[in-house]
Structure 1
Amino acid sequence: MSTSGGYGGGGAVENMLRQAQEQQRRLAELQRRRAELRVPGESPDGLVRVTVDGEMKIGDIEINARAMRLDSFSLAESLQAAIDAAYAAYGEHQQELLTEMLGGSELVRKAQDGTLTPQDWFRRFGVDLDDPFRGLRR
């Protein structure tokens, strides 16, 4: 006896559940990898180095002893440049992780634009949510 309620879609439902579980696993992996990120940034003069973690918080700050000879304005500029570099590198890493998870730059662009629909997402994995008969086929 079929568990699909006689509609012949049991395999399709099981397939959709497997795909959803796979996406959930991939999302958990993305979150784990993002949490482990430690991205460095360095000032152009090489006197200041900072690290941004997976929560986008500045962690380590390394100031070269030569930087202590700078006036406060120049030191602040070096520090800001290192922070900016770290955040830029973090953004690049984040983009790479997202592209890897979504499986393509077009989906990433749509996600960033806020135009990624559930239909686009599922279509990427072979499921057409707009097909009213998708669960009735064998």
Structure 2
Amino acid sequence: MSSPSGIGGAVESLLRQAQEQQRRLVELQQQRAELRVAGESPDGLVRVTVDGDMKVGNIELNARAMRLDSFSLAESVQAAVDAAYAAFAERQQEMLAETLGDSDLVRRAQDGTLTPEDWFRQFGVDLSDPTRGLRR
């Protein structure tokens, strides 16, 4: 038979874990907002920076880029933008993995198949067990 303090302890433990996850997610959002990632065209003539809102914040053109025809310059700019977005996505993936601790969880969260039960199970909490934390 369980005691009321046992139930309270289990709830407190669950709340502490939820608060810790909330703190981690807030920290992740702050890191993402401050993130600045650069990408460069393959020819090295254009460098683009993408900020935490995924907006192009800076475009640097090498002086040699001005000798390109408009089509080639546009291709170089697009390649640099694509490289910056790819680098941003990669860094964001790394940050998620650092926060969640498991690349499989990151993948499942991104594709929408991560359940709350699976999330808490990562931290040793089995939501399907109503007596968790009550046994000694």
**91, 94, 98: which one aligns with 1:93:** 91
Whether the 8 Å contact between 1:9 and 1:137 is mirrored in structure 2 is no
Structure 1 distance, partners of 2:94, 2:101, is: 10
Amino acid at match of 1:128: D
Whether the 8 Å contact between 1:43 and 1:82 is mirrored in structure 2 is yes
Structure 1 residue 8 displacement after superposition:
2.7
Whether the 8 Å contact between 1:67 and 1:75 is mirrored in structure 2 is yes
Structure 1 distance, partners of 2:41, 2:6, is: 63
**37, 61, 64: which one aligns with 1:63:** 61
Cα RMSD (Å): 1.7
1:3-38 per-residue CA deviation (whole Å, 9 max, x = no partner) reads xx8363111111111101100110011011111110
Question: Identity of paired residues, percent?
Answer: 78
Structure 1 distance, partners of 2:72, 2:122, is: 50
Partner of 1:29: 27
**TM-score computed with the length of structure 1 as normaliser:** 0.91
Structure 2's unaligned 5+ residue stretches are: none
Structure 1's unaligned 5+ residue stretches are: none
In the TM superposition, structure 1's runs of 4+ consecutive aligned residues that sit over 3 Å from their partners are 135-138
Structure 1 distance, partners of 2:4, 2:128, is: 22
Aligned residue-pair number: 135
